[in-house]
Amino acid sequence: MGLIKEPKNVDFTGQSEPWTEEELKDFRKLMSELKAKTAKRKVQSSKKKRKVGA
Protein backbone atom coordinates (compact mmCIF):
# COMPACT_ATOMS: atom_id res chain seq x y z
CA MET A 1 0.00 0.00 0.00
CA GLY A 2 1.48 3.31 -0.96
CA LEU A 3 1.21 6.84 0.26
CA ILE A 4 -1.40 8.98 -1.49
CA LYS A 5 -0.17 12.46 -2.34
CA GLU A 6 -2.50 15.43 -2.61
CA PRO A 7 -2.66 16.83 -6.12
CA LYS A 8 -1.86 20.52 -6.48
CA ASN A 9 -4.78 22.85 -5.75
CA VAL A 10 -6.78 20.04 -4.12
CA ASP A 11 -7.40 19.79 -0.39
CA PHE A 12 -8.38 16.40 1.08
CA THR A 13 -9.48 17.72 4.46
CA GLY A 14 -13.11 17.36 5.39
CA GLN A 15 -15.43 18.16 8.22
CA SER A 16 -17.92 15.65 9.54
CA GLU A 17 -21.38 16.61 10.66
CA PRO A 18 -22.45 15.98 14.27
CA TRP A 19 -24.43 12.81 14.86
CA THR A 20 -28.14 12.91 15.57
CA GLU A 21 -29.51 11.47 18.80
CA GLU A 22 -30.85 8.45 16.88
CA GLU A 23 -27.45 7.77 15.29
CA LEU A 24 -25.74 8.04 18.69
CA LYS A 25 -28.27 5.65 20.20
CA ASP A 26 -27.68 3.10 17.42
CA PHE A 27 -23.89 3.45 17.72
CA ARG A 28 -23.93 2.99 21.49
CA LYS A 29 -26.14 -0.08 21.14
CA LEU A 30 -23.79 -1.59 18.55
CA MET A 31 -20.70 -0.89 20.68
CA SER A 32 -22.25 -2.44 23.79
CA GLU A 33 -23.16 -5.57 21.78
CA LEU A 34 -19.61 -5.83 20.39
CA LYS A 35 -18.07 -5.38 23.85
CA ALA A 36 -20.32 -8.07 25.30
CA LYS A 37 -19.44 -10.44 22.46
CA THR A 38 -15.71 -9.77 22.90
CA ALA A 39 -15.90 -10.27 26.67
CA LYS A 40 -17.72 -13.57 26.16
CA ARG A 41 -15.05 -14.71 23.69
CA LYS A 42 -12.24 -13.83 26.14
CA VAL A 43 -13.87 -15.91 28.90
CA GLN A 44 -14.21 -18.92 26.59
CA SER A 45 -10.63 -18.70 25.31
CA SER A 46 -9.17 -18.43 28.82
CA LYS A 47 -10.89 -21.68 29.79
CA LYS A 48 -9.27 -23.51 26.86
CA LYS A 49 -5.73 -22.44 27.81
CA ARG A 50 -5.68 -24.24 31.16
CA LYS A 51 -3.15 -27.02 31.48
CA VAL A 52 -4.10 -30.17 33.35
CA GLY A 53 -1.37 -31.74 35.48
CA ALA A 54 2.23 -30.64 35.40
Q: In the prediction, which pLDDT does 6 show?
A: 74
Q: What is the pLDDT of residue 34?
A: 93
Does 18 or 42 have the greater pLDDT score?
18
Which of 6-10, 19-23, 37-41, 43-47 comes out lowest in average pLDDT? 43-47
**What's the pLDDT at 31?**
95
pTM of the model: 0.49
Q: Is pLDDT at 2 greater than 90 in this prediction?
A: no
CB 29, CB 23: distance < 8 Å: no
- Write down the pLDDT at residue 40: 76
